[in-house]
Amino acid sequence: MTPVVDAADKTEQALFGLVGDRVVISVDAMGGDRGPAAVVAGLVLALSDNVLIAFVLHGDEAVLNPLVAAQPQLSGRCVVRHAPRAVTMQDKPSQVMRNGTDTSMWSCVDSVKTGEATVAVSCGNTGALMAISMLRLRKLPGVNRPAIACLWPSRNAGGFNVMLDVGADVKAEPEDLLQFAMMGASYARNGLNLPRPRVGLLNVGTEETKGRQELKAAFERMPAVAAVGDFEFVGFVEGGDIPGDRVDVIVTDGFTGNVALKTGEGTAKLISDFMREAFGGSLLSKLGALLALGSLRRLQKRMDPRRVNGGVFLGLNGTVVKSHGSADALGVAAAIKLAFDLAKSGFNERLAARVASAGLAGLDAGEQGEVS
Amino acid sequence: MTPVVDAADKTEQALFGLVGDRVVISVDAMGGDRGPAAVVAGLVLALSDNVLIAFVLHGDEAVLNPLVAAQPQLSGRCVVRHAPRAVTMQDKPSQVMRNGTDTSMWSCVDSVKTGEATVAVSCGNTGALMAISMLRLRKLPGVNRPAIACLWPSRNAGGFNVMLDVGADVKAEPEDLLQFAMMGASYARNGLNLPRPRVGLLNVGTEETKGRQELKAAFERMPAVAAVGDFEFVGFVEGGDIPGDRVDVIVTDGFTGNVALKTGEGTAKLISDFMREAFGGSLLSKLGALLALGSLRRLQKRMDPRRVNGGVFLGLNGTVVKSHGSADALGVAAAIKLAFDLAKSGFNERLAARVASAGLAGLDAGEQGEVS
């Protein structure tokens, strides 16, 4: 009888055969607006910075094999896993949950479930990715509502703030907001290297009496959670604080967070377009722009949303990074870099330990171990 | 017996004695962060563009009289109305409603109530201004929840979109969202000169099935309101559409709108600061910035929030313009310019007629008159 060698075994042989400490990242090649070629180009870009990454790439092998074969840098570092179908941006999450087992997205998340990869990355349909992730990875014990956290360019020394939830769900109860604070602080500690992050609750004013009922309820209970979660609660913050330096972590419900994220991106895009028009205006300003080119490029780099591409799903048994649907190679590479950093720091294990230690189900302060 | 000449009579004599078609604007001199000097400077700036404005200025006459006397342009165009107290940013709206009759803000709104002024302008405490405005001017017949509308720099030909509510209340029922659409369309028609404004409902996606329950309910009933209100309903829009050209009017609840507004402002401020740093970076980039100065100034003007300063309270028996608390002379002048434009167009009468004609209480389509 021939011994059965399953897919995961083969992957392990291929990726870990030579180097034992590579971080394996599972990538959905089919989800993005720009197609699998942009994703494969992103893998190459990410590898150029980092030799410790290996990939399991999910999608139609007839399309992927030639793309991967054309990139010598991927040789020995990328296994293609065939999935005949792709989730589209129009697919409903509920349908994908019922009939999506043969999609590249499902296969991508399953690589984390089986343990062959540490983190999953997809540019696809956010709702479907969250639905599959919830179904296959399940919520961390003690977590009620998972959240999507994003990085936001800010005035802080590290250059970024964390905001969550930016769209996992359209609402949040006070208990959810408390958990978001705990999870966001843990992400900032591990992802941004901030030992004691400052956390703010997003509201329409900073006075204690302002805002919606669920915010007031969360406000009252937050100091107790901050003591257990080892973060500093600064109280209510406003929209202007999202890119500011008053806090490191902004906590809000997924509806408000999603609108704020897209409003910020839209505003940045508008200004960047206006700038381009302004500098194209006259010969003098064109010459000026030429002289200022280095500074303009640094500015563009600082604000480029592709460089901070990647929302992270928090509160699951495994890490999933959601890249922009429109991500190009640079955007995909940024999402992979984020996935690598989180995998290296053992972020999800730390988050799980923190949640367990805090006894978040009842938010009662349990014994604290050596977790962060 | 000496005939009693009351304050309003004296104002009328002073302001209308020579020119009959001046628009009288009531201004709260005491509310802003920069004090009455910035407000008076703003009046002068507004006058330089427009000879048809006259002011009733409310506040401490011991402070205001010398400030006004120092500006010859204000001679014969500005009456000071004494009010011993000022509403602070810390005052609670409920307290101001009970004990605020002797404040400059109360006096400012009352000038509209008595009819001596057409529009009121204040840089003060938004919550208190809304509370006083509701109490003194009362809601328009048929309006359930008044709203604050703001102008947002956009890609549209006119340069601006309208968004509401940006903070009158923290929530909105489906009926309120329908009324916001009607009022916002009327504002866009009269303020931005758009005969048939395109209106969108702010959501986290554009699919009909997405978002919160109250949004889905409003979505279903909106086409009927659009037919009566003479606007085009384009469906759900996202945060990125707020500065975009897909719609002219963005409808949302006051919590989401306020967060989006402040997020957009904060993002614009961050980029502007980064730009300043970038251009200060090297000798070459400084020289470049110098050459590009004209273009940079045009850009700055295009994005300057002070030039679009002024939220308008919609749905009351009278128009109230809320300026930024931190408004300087340029900001105050912009708010006055907006107040003047609305007064000249007879906006509030048109809005009232539109609401009455639409029978908005039940949102049943009544007979439509010649209103806009």
| Residue A135: closest CA among A103, A160, A158 | A103
Whether residue B324 lies inside any domain: the answer is: yes
Question: Torsions phi, psi of B234, nearest 5?
Answer: -95, 0
Residue A201: enclosing H or E segment and its boundaries?
strand A198-202
- How big is the A-B interface in CB pairs under 8 Å? 192
Using the beta-carbon criterion (under 8 Å), do B267 and A294 form an inter-chain contact? no
Using the beta-carbon criterion (under 8 Å), do A266 and B244 form an inter-chain contact? yes
Residue of chain A whose alpha carbon sits nearest to that of B91: A207
Using the beta-carbon criterion (under 8 Å), do A259 and B267 form an inter-chain contact? no
B309 with B331: CB under 8 angstroms?
A: yes
Domain shared by A172 and A116, yes or no:
no
B306, pLDDT greater than 60: no
Whether residue B364 lies inside any domain: the answer is: no
Tell whether B244 lies on the interface with A, counting CB pairs under 8 A: yes
Place of tokens 């204690």: A208
Domain shared by A116 and A43, yes or no:
yes
Span A241-256, pLDDT tens digits: 999 999 999 999 999 9
Residue of chain A whose alpha carbon sits nearest to that of B210: A170
Residue B176 tokens, joined:
């309120």
Whether ipTM exceeds 0.90: no
pLDDT at A251: 98
Q: What is the mean pLDDT of residues A150-177?
A: 90
Instruction: With beta carbons under 8 A apart, name residues in chain B contacting A302.
Output: 274
| Residue A188: closest CA among A150, A218, A240, A155 | A150
Whether residue B6 lies inside any domain: the answer is: yes
Q: What is the mean pLDDT of residues A52-81?
A: 95
B44 with B73: CB under 8 angstroms?
A: yes
Tell whether A240 lies on the interface with B, counting CB pairs under 8 A: yes
> Between β-strands B319-322 and B119-122, what pairing exists: parallel, antiparallel or unpaired?
parallel
Name the range with the highest mean pLDDT among A168-172, B110-114, B191-195, B290-294. B110-114
**Could you say which DSSP state residue B304 is in?**
-
Closest CA–CA distance from residue A44 to any residue of chain B (Å): 30
Residues across chain A: 372
DSSP character string of A254-271: HHHHHHHHHHHHHHHHHH
d(CA B312, CA B118): 13
Q: How confident is the model at residue B276 (pLDDT cuts 50, 70, 90)?
A: confident
Whether residue B330 lies inside any domain: the answer is: yes
B202 with A259: CB under 8 angstroms?
A: yes
Tell whether A276 lies on the interface with B, counting CB pairs under 8 A: no
Quick one: CA dihedral A71, A73, A76, A81, positive or negative? negative
Tell whether B298 lies on the interface with A, counting CB pairs under 8 A: yes
Instruction: With beta carbons under 8 A apart, name residues in chain B contacting A219.
Output: none
Average model confidence (pLDDT) across chain B:
85
Using the beta-carbon criterion (under 8 Å), do B266 and A204 form an inter-chain contact? no
Closest CA–CA distance from residue B170 to any residue of chain A (Å): 6
Domain shared by B68 and B170, yes or no:
no
Whether residue B97 lies inside any domain: the answer is: yes
How far is CA B342 from each of CA B32, B77, B306, B347, rounded to the nearest angstrom?
22, 19, 18, 5
Domain containing B177 — which CATH number?
3.40.718.10
Domain shared by A258 and A302, yes or no:
yes
pLDDT at B113: 96
In this structure, the number of other CB atoms found within 10 A of the CB of residue B240 comes to 18
CA atoms within 13 A on the CB side of A24: 28
Domain shared by B125 and B193, yes or no:
no
Q: Which residues have C-beta within 8 Å of that of residue B349, sequence separation ≥ 6?
A: none
Task: Point out the least confidently predicted range of A17-31, A214-228, B197-211.
Answer: A17-31
B69, pLDDT greater than 70: yes
Whether residue B70 lies inside any domain: the answer is: yes
Span A186-245, pLDDT tens digits: 999 888 889 999 999 999 988 777 788 999 999 999 999 998 889 999 999 999 999 999
Q: Give the domain-ending residue among B252, B278, B307.
A: B307
R_g of chain A computed on alpha carbons: 21
Using the beta-carbon criterion (under 8 Å), do A265 and B290 form an inter-chain contact? no
Q: Give the domain-ending residue among A306, A328, A344.
A: A306
pLDDT at A302: 61
Residues 74-113 of chain A with CB under 8 A from chain B are: 92
Using the beta-carbon criterion (under 8 Å), do A293 and B288 form an inter-chain contact? yes
pLDDT at B371: 44
pLDDT at A1: 39
Q: Which residues have C-beta within 8 Å of that of residue A3, sequence separation ≥ 6?
A: none
Cβ-nearest to A239 among B259, B271, B287: B259
How far is CA B275 from each of CA A292, B295, B300, rounded to the nearest angstrom?
11, 13, 11
pLDDT at A352: 84
Average model confidence (pLDDT) across chain A:
85
R_g of chain B computed on alpha carbons: 21
Domain shared by A55 and A88, yes or no:
yes
Task: Point out the least confidently predicted range of A63-77, A282-296, B83-97, B205-219.
Answer: A282-296
Per cent of chain A over pLDDT 90 is: 55
Count how many domains chain B has: 2
Domain shared by A166 and A301, yes or no:
yes
Tell whether A239 lies on the interface with B, counting CB pairs under 8 A: yes
d(CA A218, CA B143): 32
Cα first-last separation, chain B: 49
Domain shared by B241 and B285, yes or no:
yes
Residue of chain B whose alpha carbon sits nearest to that of A155: B270
Tell whether A154 lies on the interface with B, counting CB pairs under 8 A: yes
- Domain residue limits at B207: 147-307
Per cent of chain B over pLDDT 70 is: 83
Q: How confident is the model at residue B336 (pLDDT cuts 50, 70, 90)?
A: very high
Residues across chain B: 372
Cβ-nearest to B294 among A267, A282, A287: A282
Domain shared by A275 and A345, yes or no:
no
pLDDT at A364: 44
Whether residue B106 lies inside any domain: the answer is: yes
Closest CA–CA distance from residue B263 to any residue of chain A (Å): 4
Tell whether A262 lies on the interface with B, counting CB pairs under 8 A: yes
Q: What is the mean pLDDT of residues B321-325?
A: 88
Q: Residues A271, A297, B267, CA angle at the centre, nearest 5°?
A: 30
B289, pLDDT greater than 90: no
| Residue B264: closest CA among A270, A11, A291, A81 | A270
Place of tokens 């997809």: A122
A307, pLDDT greater than 50: yes
Query: In b/e form, how buried is each residue of B183-211, taking b as 16+ CB within 10 angstroms?
Result: bbbbbbbbbbebeebbbbbbbbbbeeebb
Tell whether A254 lies on the interface with B, counting CB pairs under 8 A: yes
B288 with A289: CB under 8 angstroms?
A: yes
pLDDT at B193: 86
Q: How confident is the model at residue A142 (pLDDT cuts 50, 70, 90)?
A: confident
DSSP character string of B85-148: B---TTS-HHHHHHH-TTBHHHHHHHHHHHTS-SEEEE-S-HHHHHHHHHHHH-BPTT-SS-EE
In this structure, the number of other CB atoms found within 10 A of the CB of residue A285 comes to 23
Cβ-nearest to B170 among A212, A285, A292: A212
d(CA B15, CA A361): 67
Whether residue B362 lies inside any domain: the answer is: no
For the CA atoms of B320, B321, B327, B330, what is the dihedral angle to 10 degrees? -130
Q: What is the mean pLDDT of residues B19-39?
A: 88
Domain shared by B157 and B303, yes or no:
yes
d(CA B221, CA A112): 44
Instruction: With beta carbons under 8 A apart, name residues in chain B contacting A265.
Output: 239-240
B311, pLDDT greater than 80: yes
Q: What is the mean pLDDT of residues B66-86?
A: 95
Question: Which residue type sits at A78?
Answer: C
Domain shared by B185 and B229, yes or no:
yes
Q: How confident is the model at residue A326 (pLDDT cuts 50, 70, 90)?
A: confident
Using the beta-carbon criterion (under 8 Å), do A265 and B293 form an inter-chain contact? no
Q: Which residues have C-beta within 8 Å of that of residue A175, sequence separation ≥ 6?
A: A144, A363
Interface residue of A295, A322, A324 to substitute, partner B, most B CBs within 10 Å: A295
Domain shared by B219 and B277, yes or no:
yes
